[in-house]
Amino acid sequence: MGQNLFRDLPCKAAEERIDVLLSRPGLRVERIVSTGQASPPGFWYDQPQDEWVIVLRGAAGLLVEGESERRLGPGDFAFLPARKRHRVAWTATDEPTVWLAVHFGEGVGA
C-alpha cells in the first residue's frame, strides 16, 4: 500500500507533529502537521541550512524578520535562506495545517 501525506492526521495535539519522509546527505524532507500551534513568544528559527516550505492543507501565518506577516494557505510556499530568522505566528485551529518542508544544504540529512 502506498503512503499518503494526509493519512493519520491528528485532529488536535499539544505539539506539532514532524515526520521525516526522506533524509539523505544534504537533504531532509518533512511533513509537519500543526493544529493551532505557533512559535513560542520571542522564539525565532535561525537555521544553518536553506528551507523551502509549502502549505498543503490548512492555513498559517509566517513571520520573516524585517517583513510583514505572510498568510499561507493551500499551495502557498516560501523559500527561507540559511540564517534568515523566521517564526510561525499562528496556524489554523479548526483543521490540521499540513506543511511539506524541504531542508537542504551542508549539514542536513544522514
Q: What is the CATH number of the domain that holds 73?
A: 2.60.120.10
Residues of the chain with pLDDT under 50: none
pTM of structure: 0.91
Contact present, 18 and 11 (Cβ < 8 Å): no
Residue 11 is predicted with a pLDDT of: 79
Burial 59-75 (b: 16+ CB within 10 A, else e): bbebbbeeeeeeebeee
H helical segments located in 3-100: none
Number of domains present in the structure of the chain: 1
Rounded CA-CA distance 71/2 in Å is 32
In a domain, 4, yes or no: no
Residue 89 is predicted with a pLDDT of: 97
The alpha carbon dihedral of 44, 40, 33, 91 has a sign of negative
Residue 108 is predicted with a pLDDT of: 83
In a domain, 12, yes or no: no
